[in-house]
Amino acid sequence: MQQSTRPSSPMHGAGDQSSPGPKYRPRLMFLLPCTIAALVTALITSALMLAYPSMTAQAQAVNPNCTLIVPAQPLTAQGLATPYQLVATDPAQGPCREANINQAAFVQSAVWNPADSQISVYNPLVIDKGTQPAIAPVVPNIPKGAIVALWFGFNGTNLTLQGTNNSLQQGNCINGLPGSIFGQFAYCNAPQFFAAVNKAIDADKLNPPPLGRGKDGLTCPSTRDFSVVDQDQSDNTTTRYLVTKDGRIAQDTAANFAKLQAGNMLAPMARINASDNELLVASIDPALGCTPWMVPDLANPGKKATALPLNEIQAAIFQPAPMALVPAGDPMVKVGNKLNLNKLNLFRVGVNQPPVKNLDQANTTNYCISLVDIAPARLLIDSRFTLAAPSPLPAVANNLFTFLANRFNATWGAAGLNCQALLHQNSPIVVTTDKQGVAIAATINGINPAAAR
């Protein structure tokens, strides 16, 4: 099996990237000093480790390649409530442990009920193979005739799906191409789910909420906003799990939290699948006063949850042009180091994006031009809010602004989309780090803030 080349470490109205805009802007220097204390709101993940070599040796040393065993009949209520099992793909590389944030895998499902034209969310549980959950998962109520889909995320490098009694075929699961998996991402039955939801939207039976307007006066960003995306956009989930002190896992529900907390069993922090999706709903939206789309959580009565499919449906309708869609140079859609149309389209249809007829329609150079035209300008405008917001990863950056600036540079460089070589242009962002490699300030050069408006 050929694994992803991603380094171990962050269709309504949907056209592809717009025509390239101007590459250079009038020079404007904006220095942002280190003034905000680092606050912890999320956990380390290898999706972010890709960009940041300052991660600890312990984090880098864990086995980055794990297998997730998919239970039988994964699209049924019983299948959803059966824990997925995590195990090392190659035991010689070391074990895989769900409680280890650098190896944690995540599953997210969405349920479309055509009877009432409503979407709900359910996050199946992942445990280590051969163990039991801290608390048995809730068995969801799945309406008759509902369409269920699944999405997978991973904090390591390569997550391989393994079936149980033909479960991969039962779930219409896609892990990538034969011999070349996506890496951190996979899905089951997603195109069928999106087709049904999009049909209902076209028929005016479902009306997703608009993105809204942020405190910066701009349209709230989506997962297809060039100020949010990185080298592999639209991957991973917003699923979270509770972890006990002895390493057992439970669904993140109010009832489970109360029970485990009362017994003094909870570890200090939950397990989070960091991604564009999590970064948007947990960090960027709160900083800008935006509200993500949420729907009922079938595991958590009376509560609502965010989800990857909600973000992608909303973005497809409301994201202003130019819309960021998975480019051909995304490391997850390459086969080895080569571009591959089939793998690109397999990924795209799994996240509600239109397939392309040829690779040039997903040209990475055009993607990079839109990225540099839009992202630095919006980072500059939003800095008055993101400077005061906590960093998703304090070991990398001291606040949300410096985190986003550092993330942009990682995407821009050779380990990301290699925009620097494609455009023969250095990043307009210069990041200052301290002795520990933590980003503490950023300078944005040659950017016109009006470009983000």
The pLDDT tens digits for 229-272 are 999 999 999 999 999 999 999 999 999 999 999 999 999 888 99
Q: What angle do CA 372, 374, 375 make, to 5 degrees?
A: 75
- How far is Cα 61 from Cα 227, in angstroms, rounded to an integer? 31
**Domain assignment present for 164:** yes
Collect all residues with Cβ–Cβ distance below 8 Å to 192 and sequence separation of at least 6.
Answer: 147, 149, 172
The H-assigned helical ranges of 147-243 are 167-170, 190-202
- How far is Cα 178 from Cα 343, in angstroms, rounded to an integer? 10
- Please classify residue 22 by burial: count the beta carbons closer than 10 Å to its beta carbon, then call 0-12 exposed, 13-18 middle and 19+ buried: exposed
Contact (Cβ atoms closer than 8 angstroms) between residue 148 and residue 189: yes
Q: Which residue would you say has higher pLDDT here, 13 or 297?
A: 297
Per-residue confidence (pLDDT) for residue 350, from 0 to 100: 98
Collect all residues with Cβ–Cβ distance below 8 Å to 252 and sequence separation of at least 6.
Answer: 123, 239, 240, 241, 242, 270, 300
Residue ranges with strand state E in 59-116: 65-69, 84-88, 105-113
Domain span at 239: 46-362
Total count of domains within the chain: 1
Residue for token pair 């297809």: 224
- Tell me the pairing of strands 186-188 and 147-154: antiparallel
User: Under DSSP, is residue 293 helix (H, G, I), strand (E, B) or coil?
Assistant: coil
Task: Kindly state the average pLDDT of the residues 286-308.
Answer: 98
Task: Kindly state the average pLDDT of the residues 315-321.
Answer: 97
- How far is Cα 208 from Cα 210, in angstroms, rounded to an integer? 7
What residues form DSSP beta bridges with 430?
Answer: 443
Q: Is the pTM of this model over 0.85?
A: yes
Per-residue confidence (pLDDT) for residue 269, from 0 to 100: 83
How many angstroms separate the Cα of 235 from the Cα of each of 139, 184, 218, 428?
26, 8, 25, 26
Q: How far is CA 379 from the centre of its chain?
A: 19
What integer best gives the mean pLDDT of the chain?
88
- How far is Cα 294 from Cα 281, in angstroms, rounded to an integer? 10
Q: Is pLDDT of 190 > 70?
A: yes
**Domain assignment present for 343:** yes
- pLDDT tens for residues 361-390? 999 999 999 999 999 999 999 999 999 999
Q: Is pLDDT of 333 > 60?
A: yes
Per-residue confidence (pLDDT) for residue 173, from 0 to 100: 98
Tell me which H or E stretch contains 254: helix 254-262
**Domain assignment present for 431:** no
